[in-house]
Amino acid sequence: MDLTLKIWRQKDSKSKGKFETYQVTGISPDCSFLEMLDQLNEKLISEQKDPVAFARGDCGVSFDHDCREGICGMCGMFINGRAHGADTGITTCQLHMRRFKDKDTIVVEPWRAKPFPIIKDLVVDRSAFDQIIQAGGYVNVNTGGVPDANCIPIPKPNADEAMDAAACIGCGACVATCKNASAMLFVAAKVSQLALLPQGKVEAKERVQKMVAKMDELGFGSCTNTGACEVECPKSVSISHIARMNREYLCAKLSS
């Protein structure tokens, strides 16, 4: 496959960025999108040019590694206007070049959200998510010795739904896709996974208020229920978790 790539290049968060056009040839349809970018970077390095920074640690670019298993969330980028590319339920590292056609033009750009400042090229700083988790996305449990997992009975529907919420990998696709750059789906998933379990009940009121407050403080937008976040989420996290988070928040406010 021979392809034309239009890639966003930006030195850092304070520099002005622009799209630059590159040609790549002989791309196998069986390789992944990131392997294709590897080949482009090898070409640029051989020409003594600055390689494209994306979620990798090779090619002389000291940023995040990609796991290619869809579990780390580091490889997020917009590909032809869609988060993680033209497929559903995958991250960019799982996107294969057979989703494209020979002679295609592919536009690649980073997440566009104020709370996710660009570090370089396609790499953004998602530490805002870490700050939200630090605000309350945890439990304090005095376990004593190592308890048997079966000592705390949990209804299977609750356990299943909590696991579905915990599947969120914090990639940021929901924020980048939302027209308001809302982080509601991410925060809701982290609140919901603990709200459904007995271990999370003790700090439930404090947790949801602190996490929502931190989300607002960091500049994320509000939710208008368009559902775009759910569509582009690589783990198909349901927006029903947003409804649960709203209920948890309202109950916490009314009882405080």
The CATH number that applies at residue 103 is 3.10.20.30
| Strand 82-83 to 78-79 pairing | antiparallel
Residues 114 and 132 in one domain: no
Mean pLDDT of 11-36: 95
Question: How many Cβ atoms sit within 10 Å of the Cβ of residue 137?
Answer: 20
Query: What's the whole-number average pLDDT of the chain?
Result: 90
Tokens representing 210?
A: 């602190």
Residues 101 and 197 in one domain: no
Residues 134 and 79 in one domain: no
Q: Is residue 60 predicted with pLDDT exceeding 60?
A: no
Give the confidence band of 62 by pLDDT, cuts at 50, 70, 90. Answer: very low
CATH of residue 183: 1.10.1060.10
Residues 35 and 116 in one domain: yes
Task: Please give the pLDDT value at position 70.
Answer: 85
Quick one: how far is CA 79 from the chain centroid? 14
Residues 85 and 133 in one domain: no
Task: Please give the pLDDT value at position 154.
Answer: 87
User: Helix, strand, coil proportions of the chain in percent (round to 5)?
Assistant: 40, 10, 50
Using only the alpha carbons of the chain, give its radius of gyration: 20
Q: Is residue 56 predicted with pLDDT exceeding 60?
A: no
Among candidate residues 76, 99, 120, the one where a domain is terminated:
120
CA distance 45 to 51: 6
Q: Is residue 30 predicted with pLDDT exceeding 50?
A: yes
Q: Is residue 46 predicted with pLDDT exceeding 50?
A: yes
**Lowest mean pLDDT across 132-141, 161-170, 185-194, 237-246:** 132-141
Better-predicted residue by pLDDT, 199 or 242: 242
Mean pLDDT of 167-173: 95
Calculate what percentage of the chain has a pLDDT beyond 70. 92
Residues 44 and 136 in one domain: no
Among candidate residues 92, 120, 148, the one where a domain is terminated:
120
Task: Please give the pLDDT value at position 104.
Answer: 97
Residues 251 and 131 in one domain: yes
Residues 100 and 133 in one domain: no
Tokens representing 156?
A: 């299977």
Better-predicted residue by pLDDT, 58 or 244: 244
Task: Please give the pLDDT value at position 152.
Answer: 78
Q: Is residue 65 predicted with pLDDT exceeding 70?
A: no
CA distance readout (Å), 84 to 44, 77, 175, 234, 241:
23, 6, 13, 8, 22
Residues 196 and 222 in one domain: yes
| Strand 18-24 to 3-9 pairing | antiparallel
CA distance 196 to 244: 10
Give how many domains the chain has, as a whole number.
Answer: 2
Domain that holds residue 71: 3-120
Q: With contact defined as beta carbons under 8 Å apart, do 250 and 204 qualify?
A: no
* Sign of the alpha-carbon dihedral angle for 23, 29, 33, 39: negative
Give the confidence band of 145 by pLDDT, cuts at 50, 70, 90. Answer: low
**Lowest mean pLDDT across 104-118, 141-155, 215-229:** 141-155
Residues 161 and 227 in one domain: yes
Better-predicted residue by pLDDT, 201 or 101: 101
Mean pLDDT of 114-122: 95
Tokens representing 189?
A: 């998933």
Residues 145 and 186 in one domain: yes
Instruction: Indicate the SS3 state at residue 19.
Output: strand
Indicate the DSSP class of residue 138: -
Calculate what percentage of the chain has a pLDDT beyond 90. 79
Task: Please give the pLDDT value at position 71.
Answer: 86
Residues 87 and 144 in one domain: no
Among candidate residues 70, 98, 120, the one where a domain is terminated:
120
Tokens representing 140?
A: 């304090």
